[in-house]
Amino acid sequence: MISKRTLLMSFGALVCLPAGRRARADAPSPAPPSSSTPSPAPRLSSSVLSREQHERFMRLAIEQGRKNPYYPFGAVIVEPQTGAVVAEGTNNARENPTLHGEIVCINDYVSRHGNRGWGSKILYSTAEPCPMCMTALIFAHIGGVVYATSAFDGQKKAGMDPIKISAQDIVDATPFTRPFLLGGILSAETDRMFLDRKRH
Ligand SMILES: [Zn+2]
Q: How far is CA 135 from the centre of its chain?
A: 9
Distance 187 CA to ligand 1 centre (A): 17
Q: What is the pTM of this model?
A: 0.81
| pLDDT number for residue 37 | 56
| pLDDT number for residue 14 | 39
| pLDDT number for residue 32 | 45
Task: Verify whether residue 88 is a known catalytic residue.
Answer: no
How far apart CA 149 and CA 65 sit, in angstroms, is 12
Which class for 33: exposed (0-12), middle (13-18), buried (19 or more C-beta within 10 A)?
Answer: exposed
Dihedral (CA of 168, 67, 112, 50) sign: negative
Distance 132 CA to ligand 1 centre (A): 5
| pLDDT number for residue 74 | 98
Which pLDDT tens digit goes with each residue over 18-41? 443 333 333 444 444 444 555 677
As a dihedral over the C-alpha atoms of residue 95, residue 133, residue 167, residue 53, rounded to 10 degrees, the angle is -90
Distance 35 CA to ligand 1 centre (A): 26
Distance 117 CA to ligand 1 centre (A): 22
Eight-state DSSP code of residue 59: H
Which pLDDT tens digit goes with each residue over 110-138? 999 999 999 999 999 999 999 999 999 99
Q: Which of 55, 79, 102, 128 is catalytic?
A: 102
| pLDDT number for residue 42 | 72
